[in-house]
């Protein structure tokens, strides 16, 4: 039985992209595998410097995992990254064998390298900490989205180099892609991300959730005009949540015309509330039990 591992940054409440792209697929895998799930609060430090916000985000991230169905009584382990001091000790050893060009070519750095004043050393060495997160636990399978494949390749290179230098020590992990939910679009059509502020928070109050969904960018076609569902952010998100029958029905509405984007957004809002009804309730119950 392979060991799987995945983590989510505590940089805010996990959004729809986190839930569909990481949390739910990982929980499904956990039913048949030994599983380690962690809250990446060290990684969050690259962008968040406020203690109270970090604590709040950490609790909300844990609540999201549990609300989505993670069963910690079935051999699965949910833990906070910073509770394991060995992860940063190992990171130092790995830093000392990781070549500079490898980190300079990492997406996490290159995406912000046009303004180096905003780049801290933690962001630059982000992939090494991620490698330490993975190989410290001899994880074999790492569920990731397409955008994280490079980090797993870096982890594999670092683990292999350590083994070649010091002898066989670490398991070299494999990435596992979910073909259905590789990249979840945000309200602007690009990848849903807290850093882009284009996310949908399924755990938010109804008024906030509705405002986020109604903010999804669309083209300017009139109500009566036929529309291309494949070019619409609303439909692309809707089909990830709704059933095949419901998605097919909305697709027909788009193609036939007489169906506005406001109708589609309303359907997405209602479908989101229904889809995550139990998760929203459980999430709020867990927060009420915390010290927040």
Which positions are catalytic?
Answer: 112, 191, 194
Task: Please tell me the distance from the alpha carbon of residue 177 to that of residue 290, in angstroms, as a whole number.
Answer: 34
For the purposes of burial, counting CB atoms within 10 Å of the CB of 188, is it exposed (0-12), middle (13-18) or buried (19 or more)?
middle
| Contacts for 210 with CB less than 8 Å, ≥ 6 apart | 269
How far apart, in whole angstroms, are the C-alpha atoms of residue 94 and residue 240? 38
* Coil, strand or helix at 174: strand
Q: Residues 6 or more apart from 274 whose CB is under 8 A from it?
A: none
Long-range Cβ pairs for the range 119-127 (8 Å, 24+): 120/46, 122/45, 122/46, 123/46, 125/91, 125/95, 125/98, 126/43, 126/46, 127/102, 127/103, 127/151, 127/154, 127/155
Quick one: angle between helices 206-214 and 261-275, nearest 10? 140
Residues making up the chain, counted from first to last: 292
């Amino acid at each position: 039985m392979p060991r799987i591992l995945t983590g989510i940054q505590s940089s805010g409440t996990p959004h729809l992209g986190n839930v569909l792209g990481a949390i739910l697929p990982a929980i499904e895998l956990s039913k048949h595998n030994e599983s380690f799930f962690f809250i990446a609060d060290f990684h969050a430090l690259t962008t968040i410097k406020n203690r109270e916000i970090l604590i709040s985000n950490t609790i909300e991230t844990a609540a999201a995992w549990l609300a989505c169905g993670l069963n910690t009584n079935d051999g699965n382990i949910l833990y906070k990254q910073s509770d394991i001091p060995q992860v940063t000790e190992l990171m130092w050893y790995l830093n000392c064998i990781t070549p500079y060009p490898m980190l300079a070519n990492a997406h996490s750095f290159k995406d912000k390298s046009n303004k180096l004043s905003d780049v801290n050393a933690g962001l630059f060495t982000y992939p090494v900490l991620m490698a330490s997160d993975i190989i410290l636990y001899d994880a074999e399978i790492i569920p990731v989205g397409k955008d994280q494949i490079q980090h797993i390749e870096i982890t594999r290179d670092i683990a292999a180099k350590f083994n070649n230098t010091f002898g066989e020590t670490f398991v070299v992990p494999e990435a596992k892609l979910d073909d259905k939910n590789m990249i979840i679009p945000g309200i602007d059509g690009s990848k849903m991300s807290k850093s882009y502020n284009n996310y949908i928070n399924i755990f938010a109050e109804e008024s906030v959730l509705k405002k986020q969904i109604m903010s999804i960018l669309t083209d300017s076609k009139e109500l009566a005009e036929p529309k291309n569902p494949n070019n619409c952010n609303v439909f692309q998100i809707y089909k990830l949540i709704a059933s095949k029958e419901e998605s097919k029905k909305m697709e027909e509405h788009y193609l036939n015309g007489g169906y506005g984007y406001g109708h589609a957004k309303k359907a997405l809002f209602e479908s989101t509330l229904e889809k995550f009804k139990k998760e929203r309730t459980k999430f709020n119950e867990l927060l009420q039990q915390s010290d927040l």
